[in-house]
Amino acid sequence: MTEAAGQFITPVTMQALSQRPVYGSQWDARADNNMLHINLSREADACLIAPASADFMAKLAQGRADDLLSLLCLARPRQTVPLLLAPAMNREMWSHPATQRNMAQLRADGATVLGVGQGDQACGETGDGRMLEPQELLDDLVAFFQPKSLMGQQVLITAGPTYEAIDPVRGITNLSSGKMGFAIARAAREAGAEVTLVAGPVSLATPRGVRRVDVRSARDMQAAVAQQVDAATVFIACAAVADWRPAVAADQKIKKDGSGQAPELDFVENPDILAAVAQSARALSRALYCVGFAAESQDLLANAQAKRTRKGVPLLVGNIGPATFGQDDNALLLVDEAGALELPHNSKLALARQLIANIARRIRAGGQNDGH
Ligand code: C5P
């Protein structure tokens, strides 16, 4: 902690909450070699300064070292101990050219300056400069350590179910929490891609740095995908799209008429978003790597292989639907022209990272979007 940090929260509170020793001075007698700046920086995986004040960043930009924290930042082995900064300050201080100049210098020196939040500030003003929330900082730190295998790629992902209205209060939908698709969006972003997530009705938080487009019906999803797909280099269709929709959605609630007869509903088939995207990319010889999903209840391998050919995609990912709906874990079967690869039972996020690494390898190897 710097001296200024001690004005906000005491070292005792910090120690009690973190259950870790807290250091503030390079002359701390707990170090038996008087070399705290070396001891602390040698055993770290990363230095994350949160919050990083305008003053502290100015100091770092100049390479000054007059307190323990700046001293250990300067003394750290730069090749193995990355420095991340989470700025926090008043909006005027944040936008000041001096602060922006210092941040540019820090980036040029190899530091990673994380973003800032927007909203109410401690001083009562509103704007840019809030420290990111702790969970956001943790997500950014975790993402920092992921391999950047999809750098430069534009990934478009569909996720969640679709909802097909029968009338204003009823509809049909599929069982899908969206968790697998959201995990894939997060993993793709962590891998350095620009990610757009087209999401059906789900109640999940948008992963950090992911652009999200919310839709309801299959046709909404198709329209959103059509708008985004031209910019994409990878398309991952993870959504559980309703196969059919009521032929007409009634404007008003369909009433029970007391006859004991259920209303007759006619259904029409929804457009197959994935098959259409894959087909159009092939027709235009576009470099768009398409990946489909199959939620099956049995015969995963045979069903996934058949679906891969039917959809005309190079890679199809099978999972046993009822075993994974709404859960935080899953198991995947990656099916391509040559055969199948099992990704055994794991958290959806771990599987999403493995899948993204696998897709990145295929793209690097020059995988064509040819499912046939
Ligand atoms: O045919 P089925 O629904 O089993 O195919 C599943 C795969 O196709 C998933 O990747 C799903 O997102 C995609 N799909 C689609 N549009 C549909 C139906 C399925 O994009 N109408």
Please tell me the total count of domains within the chain.
2
pLDDT at residue 322 in the model? 78
Query: Distance between CA atoms of 345 and 269, rounded to whole angstroms?
Result: 33
- Of ligand 1's atoms, which has the minimum distance to the CA of residue 294? 6
CA of 242 to the centre of ligand 1 (A): 8
Same domain for 158 and 137: no
Residue 372 has pLDDT above 60, yes or no: no
Q: Which residue minimizes the CA distance to atom 17 of ligand 1?
A: 272
pLDDT at residue 205 in the model? 95
Amino acid at 203: S
Same domain for 208 and 128: no
Q: Which residue minimizes the CA distance to atom 2 of ligand 1?
A: 294
pLDDT in tens, 1-28: 999 999 999 999 999 999 999 999 999 9
Same domain for 182 and 34: no
Provide the domain limits for residue 98. 5-144
Same domain for 200 and 125: no
CA of 346 to the centre of ligand 1 (A): 23
CA of 281 to the centre of ligand 1 (A): 17
Average of per-residue pLDDT values in the chain: 95
* Residue 371 is assigned to a structural domain of this protein: no
pLDDT in tens, 53-90: 999 999 999 999 999 999 999 999 999 999 999 999 99
Pocket test for ligand 1, best of 225, 274, 291 (most atoms within 8 A of CB): 274
Among 144, 170, 200, the domain boundary falls at: 144
- Of ligand 1's atoms, which has the minimum distance to the CA of residue 311? 8
Residues with CB under 6 A from ligand 1: 158, 218, 237-239, 241, 270-274, 292-294, 307, 311
CA of 213 to the centre of ligand 1 (A): 18
CATH classification at residue 228: 3.40.50.10300
Q: Which residue minimizes the CA distance to atom 9 of ligand 1?
A: 293
* Residue 265 is assigned to a structural domain of this protein: yes
Same domain for 186 and 124: no
Same domain for 158 and 132: no
Among 102, 125, 144, the domain boundary falls at: 144
* Residue 117 is assigned to a structural domain of this protein: yes
pLDDT in tens, 161-208: 999 999 999 999 998 999 999 999 999 999 999 999 999 999 999 999
CA of 181 to the centre of ligand 1 (A): 13
Query: Distance between CA atoms of 34 and 27, rounded to whole angstroms?
Result: 6
Average pLDDT over residues 124-137: 95
pLDDT in tens, 322-358: 777 888 999 999 999 999 999 999 999 999 999 999 9
Nearest Cα to Cα of residue 246 among 268, 264, 273, 217? 268
Same domain for 221 and 302: yes
Report the alpha-carbon angle 281-285-291, nearest 5. 40
pLDDT in tens, 211-261: 999 999 999 999 999 999 999 999 999 999 999 999 999 999 999 888 999
Same domain for 183 and 135: no
Average pLDDT over residues 101-110: 98
pLDDT at residue 367 in the model? 65
Same domain for 137 and 42: yes
Point out the residues that are catalytic. 123
* Residue 149 is assigned to a structural domain of this protein: no
Q: Is the pTM of this model over 0.85?
A: yes
* Residue 223 is assigned to a structural domain of this protein: yes
Same domain for 360 and 308: yes
CATH classification at residue 136: 3.40.50.1950
Sorted by sequence, the CB contacts under 8 Å of residue 246 that are 6+ apart come out as 164, 165, 166, 172, 265, 266, 267
